[in-house]
Structure 1
Amino acid sequence: MKTILRLIRFTNLLLMAFCQLLVRACLLLPHQPWSRVLFDSRFLLLVFSTFCVAAAGYIINDYYDIKIDAINKPKRVVVGKFVNRRQAMLAHLVLSGIGILVGFSLSWLVGFIHVGAALLLWGYSARLKQTFLIGNITIALLSATMVLVVAVFDKVDNKAIWAYAAFVFLISIVREIIKDMEDVKGDASFDCRTLPIVAGIAGAKWFLYFFVTAFALTLLAGVIYRIDEVFFTAYILLLVILPMGFLTYKIYRADRKKDFTRLSRQVKWIMLAGMLSMLLFRYA
């Protein structure tokens, strides 16, 4: 069971589900009781369908990355070691199919979003992730879609939902570039054209500085827009922007695989802190 949970990145999936819950409860339905948000069967089906499509994406990624992962993370290889390739492909197809069908049962638009996500995840795993910046942007777009699909489901549109989608997009690009820097040895062995391989580690850092700056400016715009809300301003400055500044310094200092592994974890914590700031829309 532990192996299967590692294959589908269960912790990441739980974080995704939690994020969708926060989006609905804090940005879209802030005045509704938690019981209505939590125990809405159709919303739970939305979360389940997104969960299935994302899990299928992780599986197909490992399916195509067996040889690269044997170099980059030999102790964490699942496909080909604990689960054979045929089983992995079957699991991918079943989970994608379930996610898409459930999506269409909710609405045609949600269903088509899931179809697009499943196709992009396949394309990313098979080819796009090996391409200069395209793979990073693909995953960032899919991550932002995870936020926006909740608004599509509830048929609600507001500025906050787009702001958080931009937040997720930018921080996801930062994390994906760092992960490419972490995996540069294995990727280079199989002629991948990721950013750190094409531009070098030093060049990739300059791209990171650009995206971190864009990220910080986006956050500052949000702070200025809500400057009269003291708790929100203090929260973003102290728990998101300040850690991002520290992260930038650590990026400058990083030069080993373990440094980039640590940076990737730090970005996940910053992302979580940013997501938790949604609670201030409900309670502040």
Structure 2
Amino acid sequence: MLTFFKLIRWPNVLMTILTQLVIVYAILIPSGVDMALSWWQLSLLIISTALLTAGGNVINDIQDVVIDTINKPEKVLVGKSISENSAFTIYAVLTVIAVIAGFILANSLDKPIMATVFVFVAFLLYIYATTLKSMLLVGNIVISLLVGLVIMITGIFELYPVITPVNQGAQQTMLKILFDFAVGAFLINLAREWVKDCEDINGDHAGGRNTLAIAIGRIRAARVVSVFLFGVIGLLVWYVYNYLYQNQIALFYFVFIIIAPLMYVMLRLWSSEKTAQFHLLSTILKVVLLTGICSMAVIALTI
């Protein structure tokens, strides 16, 4: 059982679940907008999204055995703690259950076309792990888009089925707010993907991948990411100034819990050269991604 939870990377799955719960219970419900999902339909949405995430993590581990053997041999599970066939069976079962749950959810809303979202995500996760991940920039962008999609898919399923001419303005405003957070999650995760590429350059090179760090060198790539983060910080400052300036709690949260760590990573990237240094910066960005998710609740609870 421990091997299973490690294989699906349970912290990532838990973060996905947390994201959806925060959106529903800390943003949508307190805002008073019309919502489509009952408790069991929301459960289906969370189950489907969580299982798709888990399945994507499993297929990634299957495809990354050679690379992970070089980058982090102590964490390799496939071929050691579990056979490749067993891992693939787990991936298939998780993905099939996720898609079935999505179909049930979409049909319960009388919107069967919405089930294609789950099929598309399952397909994209497989293609990402087997093909796109090896392509320069493409894999980083795709997986970061999927991170942002976790936020949007929750809003779409909760708000879209009950849009009417009367509530259209409120529903669209809420979707716009969620879109802003989805963009933030996309940008931060994209930076983290590039930092991870700097960290994993040796294994990626041996595995035949073409990452930013391999294409232009680890040091240059780190500095490109630093400049990118400068732009991200600029966008966050603009957002805080325009939307949160009068909310002191949210203001301090963004400045000290999100922007300050990003500035630290931005500056440290100019002097980082070793794998351990990039691992630390990648971990900080992952924590910032989590605090960014929690910021939705902070804003909602302090308005």
Taking structure 1 as the reference length, the TM-score comes to 0.94
The one of 134, 139, 154 aligned to 1:135: 139
- 1:102, 1:111 within 8 Å by CA — same for their partners in 2? no
> One-letter code of the match for 2:141?
I
| 1:178 pairs with 2:177 | no
In structure 2, do the counterparts of structure 1 residues 37 and 103 end up closer, same or farther at CA, with 3 Å as the change threshold? closer
> One-letter code of the match for 1:116?
F
Shift of residue 38, structure 1, vs aligned partner: 11
Distance 2:222 2:70 in 1: 23
> One-letter code of the match for 1:124?
Y
- 2:227, 2:266 within 8 Å by CA — same for their partners in 1? no
Partner of 1:258: 276
Give percent identity, aligned residues only: 31
The secondary structure found in structure 1 opposite 2:30 is coil
Distance 1:283 1:13 in 2: 25
> One-letter code of the match for 1:77?
V
Shift of residue 110, structure 1, vs aligned partner: 4.3
Q: Please, which runs of 5 or more residues in structure 2 have no aligned partner? A: 107-111, 160-170
Partner of 1:116: 120
Distance 1:249 1:52 in 2: 37
- 2:198, 2:222 within 8 Å by CA — same for their partners in 1? no
Distance 1:229 1:102 in 2: 39
> One-letter code of the match for 2:72?
K
Partner of 1:66: 65
Shift of residue 114, structure 1, vs aligned partner: 1.4
Partner of 1:267: 285
Distance 2:3 2:270 in 1: 35
- 1:136, 1:176 within 8 Å by CA — same for their partners in 2? yes
In structure 2, do the counterparts of structure 1 residues 219 and 65 end up closer, same or farther at CA, with 3 Å as the change threshold? same
Distance 1:45 1:88 in 2: 24
Provide, for residues 54-87 of structure 1, a one-character-per-residue CA deviation record: whole Å limited to 9, x for no partner: 1110111111111111111111111111111111
Distance 1:251 1:167 in 2: 20
Partner of 2:77: 78
Q: What does 1:153-172 align with in structure 2 at a 5 Å threshold?
A: 153-155=157-159, 156-157=171-172, 158=174, 159-172=176-189
Distance 1:93 1:111 in 2: 18
Partner of 1:12: 12
Distance 2:121 2:56 in 1: 9
Shift of residue 15, structure 1, vs aligned partner: 1.2
More divergent stretch after superposition (225-234 vs 175-184): 225-234
Q: Please, which runs of 5 or more residues in structure 1 have no aligned partner? A: none
Shift of residue 137, structure 1, vs aligned partner: 0.2
Distance 1:109 1:147 in 2: 19
In structure 2, do the counterparts of structure 1 residues 207 and 113 end up closer, same or farther at CA, with 3 Å as the change threshold? farther
Distance 2:223 2:141 in 1: 16
Distance 2:268 2:113 in 1: 42
The one of 198, 208, 224 aligned to 1:207: 224
In structure 2, do the counterparts of structure 1 residues 250 and 110 end up closer, same or farther at CA, with 3 Å as the change threshold? farther
Distance 1:115 1:137 in 2: 19
- 1:24, 1:37 within 8 Å by CA — same for their partners in 2? no
- 1:133, 1:195 within 8 Å by CA — same for their partners in 2? yes
Partner of 1:89: 88
More divergent stretch after superposition (213-222 vs 96-105): 213-222
| Number of aligned positions between the proteins | 281
The secondary structure found in structure 2 opposite 1:253 is coil
Distance 1:122 1:173 in 2: 19
Shift of residue 237, structure 1, vs aligned partner: 1.1
Distance 1:76 1:49 in 2: 26
Shift of residue 254, structure 1, vs aligned partner: 1.2
The secondary structure found in structure 1 opposite 2:136 is coil
The secondary structure found in structure 1 opposite 2:196 is helix
Partner of 2:156: 152
More divergent stretch after superposition (249-258 vs 109-118): 109-118
Taking structure 2 as the reference length, the TM-score comes to 0.88
